[in-house]
Structures are given as C-alpha cells and as structure tokens.
Amino acid sequence: MSDVIDLHCHILPGLDDGARSMDQALNMARMAQADGVTHIVATPHIQPGVFDNDAPRIRHSLSVMQRHLQERGIALQMSAAAEIRLTPSVLPALKKETLPLLNGLSGQARYVLLEFSHKGLVAGDLYWTELIVRAGFIPVLAHPERIRTFRDDPELLEPFMNLGCLTQLTAGSITGAFGARVAETADFILESGWAHVIASDGHGFNQRQPVLRDGVQMAAKVVGQACAEAMVSAAPRAILAGEPVQSVINALREGGDA
C-alpha cells in the first residue's frame, strides 16, 4: 500500500478524551508512523455539553500539531474533521456548514463521521440519520460494532445500510481488544459486506493505540487481503476526496481492481 490512512483518531491534544498533551500526541504520531500509517485524520468529539468543540478550534489545534510534527521531522500527513454525536441539532448545523466534514470541501460527496451512544440507539436515531442522508450527506457510522444495540443484534444495522450509510470498524475491535462479543460483531459486519473503513479510534499511547496493521490482517482472513487493505487506503482516500466509496469496496469483494 502506498498510503495508509487512519480516518478516525483522537490525537489533537486537550480537545477531548484523547491525547492530553502535545507530548502524548507526538508519541501517538510516532507510534502510528511506526505501524505504517501515512495520514491521520484527527477527529475530536463534538458532543454538546460534553465536548464543545467547533471547526475553528479544531483547525487551530491541527495547525499547531502540524507545526510540531514538522519541527521534529515526523513525516506524517494530518487533516482534521470530527466525530459528531448524533442529536437533532446535527442536521441544522450541517446545513449551515458549521460542522467539519471528513472531506472538507473536496469532491461532490459530503461525508460526516457520526457516533451513536455506546449505550445503544435512542428513539429517533434512524429518523435523524435518514434526514441527514436526504439532505445530501453520507454518514460514516463510527464503530457500530461497539454500540450496544448492534452488539446485541447486528442485523439492526441493516436499515442504516439501506439508507446508504458507510461504516468504520475499529482495528482493536477486530483483534479482540474490546472483548469477544465486539469481535464477533465486527466479523459479522465484515462478512455481511457492511464494512467500508478500518480506523484506530486511537485515544492514547499506552491504551487504545493509533495502530491499524493487526486489525487489517485479521480482517483479511474474512474479506481477503486486497479488500482489507482498501479499508485503510483506497476507501478512506476516496472519502477524503469526496468521491464514491461503495464501488471501490464492491470491486475488491468481487475480485476486481480498484
């Protein structure tokens, strides 16, 4: 792979429950680079009342981080978006262009990294997701295998797939770092053809690390090497460019080239 993209990582220091300091963030960057990652998309939480981040604050933090990487000779490309907790306020904010998209202003598609409560879906989650899709956005669902609702019954993810949502599995989920039940759910999503991206959801240097390699190798046992590698390369690259993703994954699942 010429490029390895981590589409979901909490590396910007002091913005959420990820890196607490610039030193921690730089250690995460070095660890990711050693694992083969070439591009990290920093995705701090946006969750009103818990993590009150906004696009200007995230952009500033990214700029500072990029300067530190350059000063230390860490050759790691970085961009930024956000992991946005789904609430009724998300759609109006997306329409006003006040929430950061995964692809910024690139391309025709508009990709947004959405998170549900880990405790499970709440009333209206499918409805609000459908409205977001109807408004022209493509939700990338963060780590559905770790959401209680889908962990208890993975087939409940199907209505979201039918809407055209994409999914991002966490590498550690696939390797069993979050337990056997989560790993089984991740395997089900892979086997069902519902997985599009593998990312680290890295939060630190010692735990929940920003690494992808082991997760990709485990996923390859389910979907094949080419498809698993595409989930950290061709698919996230297409998302960042605002280009279609599903055709990339479908071609590889069918044994074609992308």
Count of domains forming the chain = 1
Asked whether residue 103 is domain-assigned, the answer is: yes
Say what the pLDDT of residue 141 is: 99
Show Cβ contacts of residue 47 under 8 Å, excluding neighbours closer than 6 positions: 84, 85
Residues 154 and 126: their CA atoms lie apart, in Å, by 15
Which residue range is the domain that position 228 belongs to? 5-253
**Could you report the average pLDDT of every consecutive run of 10 residues in the chain (258 residues)?**
93 98 98 98 97 96 98 97 98 96 88 98 97 98 99 98 98 98 99 97 94 98 95 97 82 56
Say what the pLDDT of residue 257 is: 43
At 190-203, the pLDDT tens digits run: 999 999 999 999 99
CATH number of the domain enclosing 57: 3.20.20.140
Say what the pLDDT of residue 77 is: 98
Say what the pLDDT of residue 40 is: 99
Q: What is the DSSP letter of 160?
A: H
Asked whether residue 239 is domain-assigned, the answer is: yes
Two structure tokens written together for 73: 């000779």
Say what the pLDDT of residue 207 is: 86
Asked whether residue 23 is domain-assigned, the answer is: yes
The pTM assigned to this predicted structure is 0.96
Residue 36's alpha-carbon distances to 32, 115, 170, 185, 245, in angstroms, are 7, 26, 16, 26, 22
Asked whether residue 258 is domain-assigned, the answer is: no
The radius of gyration of the chain from alpha carbons, rounded to an integer in Å, stands at 17
Show Cβ contacts of residue 127 under 8 Å, excluding neighbours closer than 6 positions: none
Residues 32 and 78: their CA atoms lie apart, in Å, by 12
Question: Crossing angle of helices 22-34/55-71, nearest 10°?
Answer: 70
